[in-house]
Structure 1
Amino acid sequence: MKLPHLASLNGILDTLPTIPKLPTLQRTRKTSKIIGFLDKNTSNFHEQLPLQTTRRTALALASIALVGTSSNGISLAEDNGYWITDLLSVPSVENKDITNPETGTRSFIKTGVYVANLNTKNRMYRLKKYAFDLPAMADLIGPDTLNYVKKYLRLKSTVMYYDFDKLISAAAVDDKQPLITLANRLFDSFEKVKDVGSSKMRNFPQTESCYRDTKVILQEVMDRMA
Protein backbone atom coordinates (compact mmCIF):
# COMPACT_ATOMS: atom_id res chain seq x y z
CA MET A 1 0.00 0.00 0.00
CA LYS A 2 1.47 3.33 -1.09
CA LEU A 3 0.96 6.43 0.93
CA PRO A 4 -0.68 9.31 -0.95
CA HIS A 5 2.26 11.67 -0.63
CA LEU A 6 4.72 9.03 -1.82
CA ALA A 7 2.57 8.29 -4.85
CA SER A 8 2.60 11.93 -5.86
CA LEU A 9 6.36 12.05 -5.41
CA ASN A 10 6.83 9.06 -7.73
CA GLY A 11 4.77 10.82 -10.34
CA ILE A 12 6.98 13.88 -10.22
CA LEU A 13 10.14 11.80 -10.53
CA ASP A 14 8.76 9.96 -13.54
CA THR A 15 8.25 13.24 -15.38
CA LEU A 16 11.85 14.50 -14.86
CA PRO A 17 14.08 14.20 -17.96
CA THR A 18 16.86 11.68 -17.90
CA ILE A 19 20.31 13.23 -17.27
CA PRO A 20 22.51 12.36 -20.22
CA LYS A 21 25.84 10.70 -19.56
CA LEU A 22 28.85 12.80 -20.36
CA PRO A 23 31.47 11.25 -22.62
CA THR A 24 34.39 9.73 -20.79
CA LEU A 25 37.41 12.01 -20.80
CA GLN A 26 40.70 10.31 -21.35
CA ARG A 27 43.65 12.07 -19.81
CA THR A 28 46.85 11.92 -21.70
CA ARG A 29 50.09 11.97 -19.81
CA LYS A 30 52.53 14.52 -21.05
CA THR A 31 56.11 13.48 -21.36
CA SER A 32 58.81 15.48 -19.64
CA LYS A 33 61.88 16.62 -21.50
CA ILE A 34 65.21 16.82 -19.68
CA ILE A 35 67.58 19.46 -20.92
CA GLY A 36 71.24 18.61 -20.39
CA PHE A 37 73.75 21.20 -19.16
CA LEU A 38 76.82 19.01 -19.06
CA ASP A 39 79.11 21.28 -21.06
CA LYS A 40 80.23 24.78 -20.10
CA ASN A 41 79.84 25.87 -23.73
CA THR A 42 76.21 26.89 -24.26
CA SER A 43 76.44 25.86 -27.90
CA ASN A 44 76.67 22.26 -26.74
CA PHE A 45 73.36 22.26 -24.87
CA HIS A 46 71.53 19.14 -25.95
CA GLU A 47 68.10 17.66 -25.48
CA GLN A 48 67.80 14.12 -24.25
CA LEU A 49 65.09 11.65 -25.19
CA PRO A 50 61.65 12.20 -23.58
CA LEU A 51 61.47 10.68 -20.13
CA GLN A 52 58.22 9.59 -18.52
CA THR A 53 58.36 9.77 -14.75
CA THR A 54 55.93 9.03 -12.00
CA ARG A 55 55.10 11.54 -9.27
CA ARG A 56 57.41 9.73 -6.86
CA THR A 57 60.32 9.80 -9.30
CA ALA A 58 59.81 13.49 -10.01
CA LEU A 59 59.86 14.31 -6.31
CA ALA A 60 62.99 12.26 -5.84
CA LEU A 61 64.77 14.08 -8.67
CA ALA A 62 63.70 17.44 -7.29
CA SER A 63 64.97 16.62 -3.81
CA ILE A 64 68.35 15.52 -5.20
CA ALA A 65 68.66 18.73 -7.20
CA LEU A 66 67.89 20.89 -4.14
CA VAL A 67 69.85 19.25 -1.37
CA GLY A 68 72.32 17.11 -3.28
CA THR A 69 73.47 13.68 -2.33
CA SER A 70 75.30 12.60 0.80
CA SER A 71 78.82 13.75 1.49
CA ASN A 72 80.17 10.41 0.31
CA GLY A 73 78.50 10.64 -3.12
CA ILE A 74 78.71 12.97 -6.08
CA SER A 75 76.00 15.60 -6.31
CA LEU A 76 74.38 16.62 -9.57
CA ALA A 77 75.72 20.15 -9.18
CA GLU A 78 79.29 18.91 -9.46
CA ASP A 79 78.61 17.46 -12.90
CA ASN A 80 77.45 20.53 -14.77
CA GLY A 81 80.30 22.97 -14.14
CA TYR A 82 78.07 26.01 -13.63
CA TRP A 83 78.17 26.50 -9.86
CA ILE A 84 80.48 25.66 -6.96
CA THR A 85 79.38 23.05 -4.45
CA ASP A 86 82.28 23.52 -2.05
CA LEU A 87 83.54 26.52 -0.08
CA LEU A 88 84.96 29.36 -2.11
CA SER A 89 88.74 29.31 -2.21
CA VAL A 90 90.66 32.25 -0.78
CA PRO A 91 92.21 34.37 -3.57
CA SER A 92 95.96 34.53 -3.59
CA VAL A 93 97.77 37.79 -2.88
CA GLU A 94 100.68 38.65 -5.13
CA ASN A 95 101.96 41.71 -3.24
CA LYS A 96 102.96 40.87 0.30
CA ASP A 97 103.82 44.54 0.86
CA ILE A 98 100.14 45.31 1.55
CA THR A 99 99.78 42.69 4.28
CA ASN A 100 100.27 43.32 7.98
CA PRO A 101 103.98 42.75 8.70
CA GLU A 102 103.20 41.09 12.02
CA THR A 103 100.52 38.67 10.82
CA GLY A 104 101.25 38.29 7.11
CA THR A 105 97.61 39.00 6.30
CA ARG A 106 94.88 41.49 7.24
CA SER A 107 92.54 40.95 10.16
CA PHE A 108 89.50 42.29 8.31
CA ILE A 109 89.74 39.73 5.50
CA LYS A 110 86.50 37.76 5.18
CA THR A 111 86.83 34.29 3.69
CA GLY A 112 84.24 32.72 1.43
CA VAL A 113 83.54 36.00 -0.38
CA TYR A 114 83.21 35.89 -4.16
CA VAL A 115 85.29 38.62 -5.79
CA ALA A 116 84.51 39.07 -9.47
CA ASN A 117 87.63 39.02 -11.63
CA LEU A 118 87.52 42.36 -13.46
CA ASN A 119 89.94 44.14 -15.72
CA THR A 120 92.08 46.99 -14.43
CA LYS A 121 89.69 49.77 -15.46
CA ASN A 122 86.71 48.14 -13.76
CA ARG A 123 88.71 47.38 -10.62
CA MET A 124 89.54 51.05 -10.36
CA TYR A 125 85.87 51.90 -10.76
CA ARG A 126 84.90 49.40 -8.06
CA LEU A 127 87.50 50.82 -5.66
CA LYS A 128 86.19 54.33 -6.32
CA LYS A 129 82.59 53.17 -5.79
CA TYR A 130 83.37 51.41 -2.50
CA ALA A 131 85.42 54.36 -1.29
CA PHE A 132 82.39 56.55 -2.00
CA ASP A 133 79.97 54.25 -0.15
CA LEU A 134 81.93 53.65 3.06
CA PRO A 135 82.08 57.21 4.53
CA ALA A 136 78.30 57.24 4.94
CA MET A 137 78.59 54.42 7.48
CA ALA A 138 80.17 56.80 10.01
CA ASP A 139 76.74 58.20 10.91
CA LEU A 140 75.52 54.70 11.84
CA ILE A 141 78.12 53.97 14.50
CA GLY A 142 76.30 53.39 17.77
CA PRO A 143 75.54 50.78 20.44
CA ASP A 144 72.80 49.11 18.39
CA THR A 145 74.30 49.43 14.93
CA LEU A 146 78.04 48.98 15.31
CA ASN A 147 77.91 45.27 14.46
CA TYR A 148 76.21 46.03 11.15
CA VAL A 149 78.77 48.71 10.35
CA LYS A 150 81.61 46.28 11.07
CA LYS A 151 80.11 43.57 8.86
CA TYR A 152 79.57 45.98 5.99
CA LEU A 153 83.05 47.46 6.37
CA ARG A 154 84.62 44.00 6.49
CA LEU A 155 82.86 42.89 3.30
CA LYS A 156 83.79 46.01 1.33
CA SER A 157 87.35 46.19 2.64
CA THR A 158 87.97 42.55 1.66
CA VAL A 159 87.10 43.29 -1.96
CA MET A 160 89.18 46.47 -1.89
CA TYR A 161 92.13 44.51 -0.55
CA TYR A 162 92.16 42.11 -3.49
CA ASP A 163 91.48 44.91 -5.98
CA PHE A 164 94.47 46.89 -4.73
CA ASP A 165 96.62 43.78 -5.00
CA LYS A 166 95.71 43.26 -8.66
CA LEU A 167 96.08 46.95 -9.47
CA ILE A 168 99.56 47.06 -7.98
CA SER A 169 100.58 44.02 -10.00
CA ALA A 170 99.30 45.60 -13.23
CA ALA A 171 100.70 49.09 -12.52
CA ALA A 172 103.79 50.57 -14.07
CA VAL A 173 106.98 50.40 -12.03
CA ASP A 174 106.83 54.08 -11.02
CA ASP A 175 103.20 53.75 -9.89
CA LYS A 176 103.57 50.64 -7.73
CA GLN A 177 105.03 52.24 -4.61
CA PRO A 178 102.46 55.09 -4.38
CA LEU A 179 99.68 52.50 -4.65
CA ILE A 180 101.31 50.31 -2.00
CA THR A 181 101.64 53.28 0.37
CA LEU A 182 98.00 54.32 -0.15
CA ALA A 183 96.75 50.75 0.30
CA ASN A 184 98.70 50.26 3.53
CA ARG A 185 97.40 53.51 5.00
CA LEU A 186 93.84 52.47 4.17
CA PHE A 187 94.18 48.91 5.45
CA ASP A 188 95.95 49.98 8.64
CA SER A 189 93.04 52.34 9.26
CA PHE A 190 90.51 49.56 8.56
CA GLU A 191 92.22 47.32 11.10
CA LYS A 192 92.26 50.10 13.68
CA VAL A 193 88.52 50.67 13.26
CA LYS A 194 87.96 46.93 13.62
CA ASP A 195 90.08 46.71 16.78
CA VAL A 196 88.58 49.67 18.65
CA GLY A 197 85.10 48.57 17.67
CA SER A 198 85.58 45.00 18.84
CA SER A 199 83.35 43.54 21.54
CA LYS A 200 86.26 43.66 24.02
CA MET A 201 86.96 47.38 23.70
CA ARG A 202 83.58 48.70 22.51
CA ASN A 203 84.86 52.28 22.49
CA PHE A 204 82.31 54.21 20.41
CA PRO A 205 83.95 57.68 20.58
CA GLN A 206 87.30 56.24 19.54
CA THR A 207 85.64 54.18 16.80
CA GLU A 208 84.03 57.34 15.43
CA SER A 209 87.38 59.13 15.55
CA CYS A 210 89.13 56.30 13.68
CA TYR A 211 86.38 56.22 11.10
CA ARG A 212 86.75 59.96 10.49
CA ASP A 213 90.44 59.38 9.78
CA THR A 214 89.49 56.56 7.43
CA LYS A 215 87.14 58.86 5.53
CA VAL A 216 90.08 61.13 4.67
CA ILE A 217 91.99 58.20 3.17
CA LEU A 218 88.90 57.00 1.31
CA GLN A 219 88.69 60.41 -0.34
CA GLU A 220 92.31 59.97 -1.50
CA VAL A 221 91.35 56.60 -2.97
CA MET A 222 88.50 58.20 -4.90
CA ASP A 223 90.83 60.88 -6.23
CA ARG A 224 93.44 58.31 -7.21
CA MET A 225 90.92 56.09 -9.03
CA ALA A 226 89.21 58.95 -10.86
Structure 2
Amino acid sequence: MISAVAFDAFGTIVRIGQRTNPYRELFREGRRQGVALTPDSAHLALTTNLSLDDMALSLGISLTPSKSEELRQRLELELSSIEQYPDAVEAISLLKEAGVKTGICSNLSSPYGPKVRDIFPLMDGYAFSYEAGATKPDPVIYRSICAEMDVEPGHYFGDGLGRVLMIGDSQRCDRDGPRVVGITGFYLDRTGRGQIHDLVQFAQIVINSNSPKP
Protein backbone atom coordinates (compact mmCIF):
# COMPACT_ATOMS: atom_id res chain seq x y z
CA MET A 1 0.00 0.00 0.00
CA ILE A 2 1.38 3.41 -0.98
CA SER A 3 0.59 5.87 1.79
CA ALA A 4 2.46 9.02 0.72
CA VAL A 5 4.10 10.73 -2.24
CA ALA A 6 6.72 13.48 -2.02
CA PHE A 7 7.19 15.80 -4.99
CA ASP A 8 10.19 17.89 -5.98
CA ALA A 9 9.30 21.54 -6.60
CA PHE A 10 10.95 23.26 -9.58
CA GLY A 11 10.73 21.33 -12.82
CA THR A 12 8.20 18.99 -11.26
CA ILE A 13 5.19 20.82 -9.82
CA VAL A 14 6.21 24.45 -10.46
CA ARG A 15 8.25 26.32 -13.04
CA ILE A 16 9.83 29.76 -13.38
CA GLY A 17 8.31 31.73 -16.24
CA GLN A 18 10.93 34.48 -16.30
CA ARG A 19 14.40 33.65 -15.06
CA THR A 20 16.39 36.58 -13.69
CA ASN A 21 18.87 34.52 -11.61
CA PRO A 22 19.33 36.88 -8.65
CA TYR A 23 21.65 34.51 -6.78
CA ARG A 24 23.82 33.94 -9.83
CA GLU A 25 24.14 37.70 -10.18
CA LEU A 26 25.04 37.98 -6.50
CA PHE A 27 27.86 35.48 -6.99
CA ARG A 28 28.98 37.30 -10.14
CA GLU A 29 29.21 40.50 -8.12
CA GLY A 30 31.29 38.68 -5.53
CA ARG A 31 33.72 37.45 -8.16
CA ARG A 32 33.98 40.99 -9.58
CA GLN A 33 35.06 42.07 -6.11
CA GLY A 34 37.61 39.27 -5.85
CA VAL A 35 35.67 37.30 -3.24
CA ALA A 36 36.74 33.66 -3.22
CA LEU A 37 33.51 31.79 -3.82
CA THR A 38 33.36 28.00 -3.67
CA PRO A 39 30.67 25.32 -4.10
CA ASP A 40 30.04 25.81 -0.37
CA SER A 41 28.86 29.35 -1.17
CA ALA A 42 25.98 28.00 -3.27
CA HIS A 43 25.31 25.38 -0.61
CA LEU A 44 25.02 28.15 1.98
CA ALA A 45 22.33 29.83 -0.13
CA LEU A 46 20.29 26.63 -0.09
CA THR A 47 20.72 25.68 3.56
CA THR A 48 20.26 28.93 5.46
CA ASN A 49 17.27 31.19 5.94
CA LEU A 50 18.97 34.39 4.78
CA SER A 51 17.84 37.29 2.61
CA LEU A 52 19.97 38.26 -0.38
CA ASP A 53 21.49 41.14 1.59
CA ASP A 54 22.30 38.88 4.53
CA MET A 55 23.72 36.27 2.17
CA ALA A 56 26.00 38.89 0.65
CA LEU A 57 27.14 39.89 4.13
CA SER A 58 27.84 36.27 5.07
CA LEU A 59 29.93 35.76 1.94
CA GLY A 60 31.83 39.04 2.31
CA ILE A 61 30.23 40.63 -0.75
CA SER A 62 29.69 44.39 -0.54
CA LEU A 63 26.47 45.65 -2.11
CA THR A 64 25.82 49.27 -2.97
CA PRO A 65 22.23 50.46 -2.42
CA SER A 66 21.65 50.39 -6.19
CA LYS A 67 23.03 46.86 -6.54
CA SER A 68 20.98 45.67 -3.61
CA GLU A 69 17.86 47.15 -5.20
CA GLU A 70 18.71 45.55 -8.55
CA LEU A 71 18.99 42.13 -6.90
CA ARG A 72 15.74 42.67 -5.01
CA GLN A 73 13.93 43.53 -8.23
CA ARG A 74 15.41 40.53 -10.00
CA LEU A 75 14.20 38.30 -7.18
CA GLU A 76 10.71 39.78 -7.10
CA LEU A 77 10.33 39.42 -10.85
CA GLU A 78 11.43 35.79 -10.77
CA LEU A 79 9.18 34.96 -7.81
CA SER A 80 6.17 36.59 -9.46
CA SER A 81 6.68 34.46 -12.57
CA ILE A 82 6.51 31.12 -10.75
CA GLU A 83 3.53 29.06 -11.84
CA GLN A 84 2.17 25.59 -11.27
CA TYR A 85 2.20 22.82 -13.83
CA PRO A 86 -1.43 21.94 -14.63
CA ASP A 87 -0.75 18.21 -14.40
CA ALA A 88 0.68 18.73 -10.90
CA VAL A 89 -2.57 20.30 -9.68
CA GLU A 90 -4.61 17.44 -11.09
CA ALA A 91 -2.24 14.73 -9.88
CA ILE A 92 -2.15 16.02 -6.31
CA SER A 93 -5.93 16.32 -6.27
CA LEU A 94 -6.31 12.73 -7.50
CA LEU A 95 -3.91 11.41 -4.87
CA LYS A 96 -5.62 13.29 -2.07
CA GLU A 97 -9.01 11.98 -3.16
CA ALA A 98 -7.54 8.47 -3.07
CA GLY A 99 -6.31 8.97 0.50
CA VAL A 100 -2.62 9.27 -0.35
CA LYS A 101 -0.67 11.91 1.58
CA THR A 102 1.30 14.43 -0.46
CA GLY A 103 4.30 16.59 0.33
CA ILE A 104 6.99 18.73 -1.29
CA CYS A 105 10.70 18.05 -0.81
CA SER A 106 13.00 20.50 -2.55
CA ASN A 107 16.33 22.30 -2.60
CA LEU A 108 15.36 25.97 -2.32
CA SER A 109 16.79 29.31 -1.28
CA SER A 110 14.64 30.86 1.43
CA PRO A 111 12.67 33.42 -0.66
CA TYR A 112 11.23 30.63 -2.81
CA GLY A 113 9.68 28.54 -0.05
CA PRO A 114 6.75 30.84 0.80
CA LYS A 115 5.88 31.14 -2.90
CA VAL A 116 5.76 27.35 -3.32
CA ARG A 117 3.64 27.07 -0.18
CA ASP A 118 1.25 29.74 -1.51
CA ILE A 119 0.79 27.85 -4.77
CA PHE A 120 0.28 24.50 -3.01
CA PRO A 121 -1.07 25.41 0.44
CA LEU A 122 -2.79 22.15 1.36
CA MET A 123 0.02 19.61 1.26
CA ASP A 124 0.55 17.23 4.15
CA GLY A 125 4.16 18.28 4.57
CA TYR A 126 6.99 20.46 3.29
CA ALA A 127 10.75 19.88 3.52
CA PHE A 128 12.81 22.70 2.06
CA SER A 129 16.60 22.65 2.19
CA TYR A 130 16.89 26.12 3.72
CA GLU A 131 14.74 24.95 6.66
CA ALA A 132 16.21 21.45 6.96
CA GLY A 133 19.81 22.69 6.77
CA ALA A 134 20.54 19.96 4.22
CA THR A 135 20.14 19.52 0.48
CA LYS A 136 19.07 16.52 -1.52
CA PRO A 137 20.50 13.88 -1.75
CA ASP A 138 21.37 14.16 1.95
CA PRO A 139 19.21 11.59 3.82
CA VAL A 140 18.31 14.29 6.36
CA ILE A 141 15.90 16.07 4.02
CA TYR A 142 14.13 12.86 2.97
CA ARG A 143 13.60 11.92 6.60
CA SER A 144 12.33 15.44 7.20
CA ILE A 145 9.56 15.19 4.59
CA CYS A 146 8.50 11.82 5.99
CA ALA A 147 8.28 13.30 9.48
CA GLU A 148 6.26 16.21 8.10
CA MET A 149 3.81 13.83 6.42
CA ASP A 150 3.76 11.58 9.51
CA VAL A 151 4.83 8.50 7.58
CA GLU A 152 7.76 6.18 8.11
CA PRO A 153 10.11 5.37 5.23
CA GLY A 154 11.90 2.09 4.82
CA HIS A 155 8.95 -0.24 5.32
CA TYR A 156 7.73 -1.70 2.08
CA PHE A 157 5.62 -4.61 3.23
CA GLY A 158 3.47 -5.59 6.18
CA ASP A 159 2.85 -4.12 9.62
CA GLY A 160 0.33 -1.70 8.14
CA LEU A 161 3.12 0.72 7.28
CA GLY A 162 2.69 2.06 3.78
CA ARG A 163 5.28 2.71 1.14
CA VAL A 164 6.53 6.23 0.54
CA LEU A 165 7.33 7.38 -2.99
CA MET A 166 9.07 10.42 -4.41
CA ILE A 167 9.13 11.90 -7.90
CA GLY A 168 11.10 14.72 -9.48
CA ASP A 169 13.17 15.82 -12.44
CA SER A 170 16.56 14.86 -11.00
CA GLN A 171 17.71 11.26 -11.25
CA ARG A 172 20.32 11.84 -8.54
CA CYS A 173 18.14 13.73 -6.08
CA ASP A 174 14.62 12.45 -6.70
CA ARG A 175 15.04 8.92 -8.03
CA ASP A 176 18.25 7.57 -6.51
CA GLY A 177 18.79 9.68 -3.38
CA PRO A 178 15.53 8.79 -1.58
CA ARG A 179 16.28 5.07 -1.79
CA VAL A 180 18.92 5.43 0.93
CA VAL A 181 16.16 5.96 3.50
CA GLY A 182 13.71 3.48 1.98
CA ILE A 183 11.71 5.82 -0.24
CA THR A 184 11.06 4.56 -3.76
CA GLY A 185 12.16 7.30 -6.14
CA PHE A 186 10.93 8.02 -9.67
CA TYR A 187 12.32 10.23 -12.41
CA LEU A 188 9.98 12.63 -14.21
CA ASP A 189 11.11 13.27 -17.78
CA ARG A 190 8.91 15.99 -19.22
CA THR A 191 10.54 15.63 -22.63
CA GLY A 192 8.38 12.55 -23.18
CA ARG A 193 11.36 10.24 -23.65
CA GLY A 194 11.29 8.75 -20.18
CA GLN A 195 9.08 6.11 -18.61
CA ILE A 196 7.14 8.75 -16.65
CA HIS A 197 6.53 12.06 -18.42
CA ASP A 198 3.35 13.36 -16.79
CA LEU A 199 2.28 13.63 -13.15
CA VAL A 200 -1.30 12.57 -13.85
CA GLN A 201 0.12 9.42 -15.42
CA PHE A 202 2.19 8.90 -12.26
CA ALA A 203 -0.79 9.51 -9.96
CA GLN A 204 -2.83 6.92 -11.84
CA ILE A 205 -0.02 4.39 -11.41
CA VAL A 206 -0.05 5.03 -7.65
CA ILE A 207 -3.84 4.82 -7.39
CA ASN A 208 -4.00 1.66 -9.49
CA SER A 209 -1.30 0.10 -7.34
CA ASN A 210 -3.43 0.73 -4.26
CA SER A 211 -6.60 -0.64 -5.83
CA PRO A 212 -7.73 -4.08 -4.60
CA LYS A 213 -6.73 -6.81 -7.01
CA PRO A 214 -9.55 -9.06 -8.28
Give the TM interval when normalised to the shorter protein. under 0.3
Structure with bigger helix share is 1
Higher share in strand: 2
TM-score by length of 1: 0.24
Name the larger-Rg structure.
1
> TM-score w.r.t. structure 2 length?
0.25
The higher relative CO (CA closer than 8 Å, separation ≥ 6) is in 2
